[in-house]
């Protein structure tokens, strides 16, 4: 598939791609030119805020509901105390376990699992704190138990429904990803902007003083870049894009069969981590 055909296909599905006339390649060749109409960063922040506020509201409602079941009123002191303790620990844990991340937006099921995981840890931490501070006598075990069950069920259901809603509205596109083809073809997905190095008028490693200027204009609003090129050109692309201030990945098919789980260092050399030891005590 040529770059122009890929772009034409993506323009129909990506609301963030700058739409031009049918002569896509001549338009792109006249760099500097923005490839993305706007950044998705504000979109993601807005969705994260909605998810966060919804999670908090559902957790509070769950414990107030448990209080209403046990005590006859949702605003009894025990219900409010329990909700406050859980919310404080939940916020701290959810902020670090990627319950609010790009992957959680792209895969609602993953987001639901992560928020349930964060809530489960928050409950455990809250119980431990109350036990060691000897404050557990001020809390109802029944409200804690029933509120926990209601909270987990409600936040999981809420994440699945909201995730499906946002995916439908934005076609699952929450990242502006640019795929640059430099003599190598790779599979692409809907929503990815696919161009060739020639269309961007970029020759990495050249002495062109306007290279960074063209890159700056072309990458405005871009969140991630994937480069597919021949092995001998990877170092040049790496050098050219190191200052792009976005996530940059270079396709390396020859590493696929190693099934590496990470990167490491050995006396100044980069290594591939293919196995990790169990957690220590």
Model confidence, pTM: 0.75
Q: CA nearest 177: which of 109, 229, 244?
A: 244
Q: What's residue 100's pLDDT?
A: 94
> 65, 50, 47, 69: which is closest to 174 by C-alpha?
47
End-to-end CA distance of the chain: 52
Angle, CA 160 vertex, CA 148 and CA 142 arms, to 5°: 10
Q: What is the pLDDT of residues 188-200, one digit of tens each?
A: 888 888 988 888 7
The one-digit pLDDT tens for each residue of the chain (281 residues) are: 444 444 444 444 444 444 333 333 443 444 446 788 778 888 999 999 999 999 999 999 999 999 898 888 888 888 888 899 999 999 999 989 999 999 999 999 999 999 999 999 999 998 888 888 777 677 788 888 999 999 999 999 999 999 999 999 998 889 999 999 998 889 888 888 898 888 877 777 666 667 777 777 778 888 899 999 999 889 888 888 887 888 899 999 888 888 888 888 889 898 988 888 886 66
Q: In angstroms, rounded to a whole number, what is the distance separating the alpha carbons of residues 76 and 150?
A: 17
């Amino acid at each position: 598939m040529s770059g122009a055909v890929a772009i034409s296909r993506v323009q129909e599905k990506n609301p963030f791609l700058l739409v031009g006339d049918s002569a896509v390649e001549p338009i792109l060749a006249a760099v500097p030119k923005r490839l993305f109409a706007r950044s998705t960063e504000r979109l993601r922040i807005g969705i994260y805020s909605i998810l966060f506020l919804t999670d908090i509201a559902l957790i509070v409602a769950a414990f107030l509901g448990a209080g209403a079941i046990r005590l006859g009123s949702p605003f009894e002191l025990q219900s409010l105390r329990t909700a406050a303790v859980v919310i404080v620990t939940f916020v701290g844990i959810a902020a670090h376990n990627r319950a609010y991340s790009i992957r959680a937006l792209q895969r609602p099921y993953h987001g639901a699992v992560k928020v349930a995981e964060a809530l489960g840890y928050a409950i455990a931490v809250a119980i431990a704190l109350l036990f060691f501070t000897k404050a557990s006598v001020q809390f109802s075990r029944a409200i804690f138990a029933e509120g926990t069950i209601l909270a987990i069920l409600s936040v999981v259901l809420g994440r699945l429904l909201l995730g499906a809603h946002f995916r439908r509205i934005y076609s699952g596109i929450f990242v502006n990803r640019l795929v640059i083809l430099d003599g190598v073809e790779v599979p692409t997905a809907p929503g990815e902007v696919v161009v060739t190095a020639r269309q961007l008028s970029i020759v990495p490693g050249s002495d062109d003083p306007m290279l960074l200027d063209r890159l700056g204009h072309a990458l405005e609003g871009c969140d991630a870049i994937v480069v597919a090129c021949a092995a001998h050109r990877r170092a040049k692309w790496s050098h050219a894009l190191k200052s792009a201030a976005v996530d940059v990945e270079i396709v390396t098919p020859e590493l696929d069969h190693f099934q590496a789980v990470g990167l490491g260092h050995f006396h100044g050399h980069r290594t591939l981590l293919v196995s990790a030891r169990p957690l220590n005590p």
